[in-house]
Amino acid sequence: MDKANHIVSLESWGKEDIFALLDKAMKVKRNPGNYSESLKGKTLLMMFEKPSLRTRVSFEVAMTQLGGHAIYLDLITSPVKSKESLKDSAIVSSRYCDIIMARMFDHEDIEELAKFATVPVINALTNKYHPCQILSDLLTLKEKKKSFPNLKLAFVGDGNNNITHSLLLGCSAIGMDISVGCPGELSPLNEVVNLAKKKAKIAGSNIEIVNDAVKAVRDADVVYADSWMSYHISPEQKMQRFKLLKPFQVTSELMGYAKPDAVFMNCLPAKRGEEQTADVIDGPHSIVYDQAENRLHMQKALLLVLNSKL
Ligand code: CP
Ligand code: NVA
């Protein structure tokens, strides 16, 4: 967990924290029936400033299967931020609910919620980070790859991105090599790369940021793509971004530079013909649906741990 029992970023997470959580998630996945009453009487508040399918549904189903309840709060039709401060919303919501989860634009907003909430706060995606996604992706890789965590993961596409940033922190912490192939204009934030480099030094892994998709993917065990049009990107930027990102599209030809048994990942939502071609996402290397399913198992583990039930 982050300091103070929140899950806001993976900035303070080390190898042991992640490995312990993966073991717990596997335990919950193997024996879901053992936890059907663990969160009886507990309520999760889910605040959303952006759209969602996987995160919203998997958290809500997780609460149902753990015996608790989830409330969806659309921030557009609530007074949060428009009529009142995040401080007031956090304090009041903490009086009603046992956990707050929020999907926000600005990362500072989730930090603000965590600062004033008196219950745990979970980051369900900000423009900067998506920690829950990456924790469940590591669970998927642990299941799929015998040599986990001694792997090379190549992320290709938009480097200045929540998935890229959280992958950098998560992979480097557990000793997985990560190579980001992206246009120079869409490089990851320096502060995140520097933090990841510190983690990599401790865990003995390598990090590289390159402007060449083939170089990034060469000999990779995992090739990861994400949307070229993240929720916070305005439609006016589409033409310019597609021009920049086209050389980083994951095609079968590009997959050919990875190891023969490489897996292809995408956190979804995905667009065939944009960040990857249809033959890649629908082909034999793709594990995107297992990845999506594991969101549910990991959310359950997170909810149980934050309630001291696991
Ligand atoms: N991967 C993910 O977070 O998907 P949603 O945007 O549908 O929640
Ligand atoms: N980078 C994507 C992730 C979606 C789960 C976005 O922010 O839209």
Pocket-forming residues, ligand 1, beta carbon under 6 Å: 52-55, 125, 133, 267-269
Specify the pLDDT at position 4. 64
51 and 183: one domain?
Answer: no
Is the full-model pTM beyond 0.75?
yes
Looking up residue 151, the CATH number of its domain turns out to be: 3.40.50.1370
**Are residue 18 and residue 142 in the same domain, yes or no?**
no
Query: Over the chain, what is the mean pLDDT?
Result: 97
Summarised one tens digit per residue, pLDDT across range 220-245 is 999 999 999 999 999 999 999 999 99
Same domain, 303 and 205: no
The domain in which residue 250 lies consists of 133-291
The answer on 110 and 141 residing in a single domain is: no
Q: Are residues 270 and 148 in the same domain?
A: yes
pLDDT band at 309 (very low <50, low <70, confident <90, very high): confident
Q: Are residues 223 and 78 in the same domain?
A: no
- Please indicate, yes or no, whether residues 54 and 158 belong to a single structural domain of this protein: no
Average pLDDT over residues 267-291: 98
pLDDT tens-digit profile of 18-37?
A: 999 999 999 999 999 999 99
Query: Any idea which residues carry the catalytic annotation?
Result: 103, 130, 133, 226, 267, 295
Asked if residue 279 and residue 138 are part of one domain, the reply reads yes
Q: Which tens digit of pLDDT belongs to each residue from 151-187?
A: 999 999 999 999 999 999 999 999 999 999 999 999 9
The total number of structural domains in the chain stands at 2
Ligand 2 site residues, Cβ closer than 6 angstroms? 125, 130, 161-163, 226-227, 230-231, 267
Same domain, yes or no: 41 and 123: yes
> Are 238 and 260 contained in the same domain?
yes
Q: Which pLDDT score is estimated for 3? A: 60
Written in H, E and C, the secondary structure of 7-34 is ECCCCCCCHHHHHHHHHHHHHHHHCHHH
Both 154 and 281 in one domain: the answer is: yes
> Are 243 and 124 in a shared domain?
no
